[in-house]
Amino acid sequence: MQFKGTKTFTGKEMEDAIARTGGYSNAFTSPDWTAYFQTLPSSALEMALRFEADRMVNSLFEPLEVETERTVILSEREGNENDPQFLLGEAVQQAAFKQHPYRNEVLGSTEDLLQLTREDLYGHYRNYYQPGNALLCLAGSFDMDEALALVQKHFDPIEPAETVSSNPTPENEITSSQRVELQGPDEADYIQIAWRSPRASDPDFFAYSLIESIISGPSTLNMFGSGGIGNRSSRLYRQLIENQLAASVYGSLSASIDPGTYTLYITCRGDHAPEEVIDQINLVIDELLNENVSYEELAVALKQARANFAYSSDNITNQAFWLGYAQSFADYSWFTDYVKRLEQVTSEDILRVARQYFDPARRVTGIYRNRDGAANG
């Protein structure tokens, strides 16, 4: 609804003005925050700031527009539901949190999307879209003093207001081993396994991210760029793919304000049941829990982090994103000191953190089975 217009500009006027510069804009929502971004020539900086300041407080939320957007977002959800991995991920996330909002799919359930009223949306907007609850990041080719003057010019006039936040209670542990199963049309079987991860501001997050790198390959820091590093030398790739048990494996660790999840995503092959694959994953986790990682493995993980960091500075959209993202859960030095912090991690740290978080009795295992079970075995 933030792209549908304000008292001053229609949504189309804003979209067209940005497009006319050759730039682009969009928004995305994580469980912790919503981000609006514009990438455009530096000569258009003031226009970008004017639009963002305006829609921070002046969006209209016209009732008719709400109804049109409702069907668009329902359509987005329907597109996601076509993918079994989305359905399984939603079920695994619900099992991984009992009460914390991280259990909810960001897009919302179909029921919620059908029931939300214009007043619900506008109430959310008026509460959270306040300068005191916002963070502005700029990266690119501009004069710092001039840019700050423009920021002041457009954002200072906005009256501050209080934001009422729910401050959910963090869930530090998955308290038991849980299993969720879904069935669907005949294709592959899928597995997702989720463990609790520390909040990103926790010093142990850095050891945890090296564990991720070692067992499933490094996550890319290049959200707006061209790829990252493969995972063919990771422990799980060797165990599952080289040994011909699964078609693909990768992991995902998100930096979040509260403790979150690290999740493995596996696409099974038709000739092995999910249980056989899970047995092999357990072997990899057992090794992680019982043996120190070697100096060589640690050195490789560090070099990969250094390279990923270099790739992440490849474009300005990514640079601004990471400054803001890091500030949301710690401060921007979390990102600028990222490699330095990783270099301080020892193999003893890794063993300690692995034992704290990778207990097989405290994880969620999700399986999506194709209905044609004959494909397995």
Partner 1 sequence: MVDKSVNTAALPGADTIFRKSYANGSTCLAYPNPASPAVYFRGYLPVGSLSDPVGKNGLSSLHAAMLSTGTHQHEFRELHALIESCGASISISSGSLSTIFSGQCLKEDLPLILGLLLEMLSQPAFPQAHFERLQQQLATLFKIQAQNTEEMAAQAFDRLYYRGHPYAHPEIGYPQTVAAITLEDLQAFHAETYGPNGMVIAFAGGMESDKTADLFEQVFSSWHVPFQKKQVDLPDWQPHREAMREHVAIPEKSQSDLIIGTTAPTGMSKEYHVCSLGNSILGQFGMMGRIGESVRERSGLAYYAASSLDAGIGPSCWKVIAGVNPDNLDKAIGKIKDELKRFISEPVTGAELSDVKEQALGQLPISLESNAGIVRFLLSLQRYNLSLNYLRELPDILESVSAQDILVCAQKYWDLDSLVITSAGRAL
Q: Is 227 left (phi over 0), alpha (psi -120 to 50) or beta?
A: left
User: Which helix (H) or strand (E) is 24 found in, with range?
Assistant: strand 24-29
Stretch in the footprint of partner 1 (CB under 8 A) among 15-23, 27-35, 196-204, 323-331: 15-23
Segment interacting with partner 1 (CB under 8 A) among 39-47, 116-124, 171-179, 276-284: 39-47
> What does DSSP say about strands 190-197 and 260-268: parallel, antiparallel, or unpaired?
antiparallel
Binder of partner 1 out of 103, 238, 341, 362 (CB under 8 A) = 238
For residue 40, give both structure tokens.
């455009």
In angstroms, the CA 88 to CA 94 distance is 10
Binding letters toward partner 1, positions 122-161, x by CB under 8 A: ----------------------------------------
108 binds partner 1, rule: CB under 8 A: no
Among residue numbers 174 through 233, which ones bind partner 1 (CB under 8 A)?
Answer: 184-188, 217-218, 225-233
Minimum CB distance to partner 1, residue 19 (Å): 5
* Cα distances (angstroms) measured from residue 219 to each of 83, 215, 228, 304: 22, 11, 8, 10
Residue 21 lies near partner 1 (rule: CB under 8 A): yes
User: Considering beta carbons, is residue 72 or 361 the nearer one to partner 1?
Assistant: 72
Nearer to partner 1, 145 or 242 (CB): 242
C-beta closer to partner 1: residue 118 or 126: 118
Tell me the helices (H) and strands (E) count for the chain, helix number first. 15, 7
Produce one character per residue of 341-353: b if its CB has 16 or more CB atoms within 10 Å, e if not.
bbeebebebbbeb
Torsion (CA) 320, 322, 326, 329 in degrees, nearest 10: 100
Amino acid identity at 31: P
Name the minimum Å distance from CB 11 to partner 1.
8
Q: Is 337 among the residues that bind partner 1 (CB under 8 A)?
A: no
Using CB under 8 A, which residues numbered 252 to 291 contact partner 1? Answer: 267-271
Structure tokens at 90: 């939603």
Residue 116 CB, shortest distance to partner 1, in Å, is: 15
Candidates 46, 202, 276, 337: give the one binding partner 1 (CB under 8 A). 46
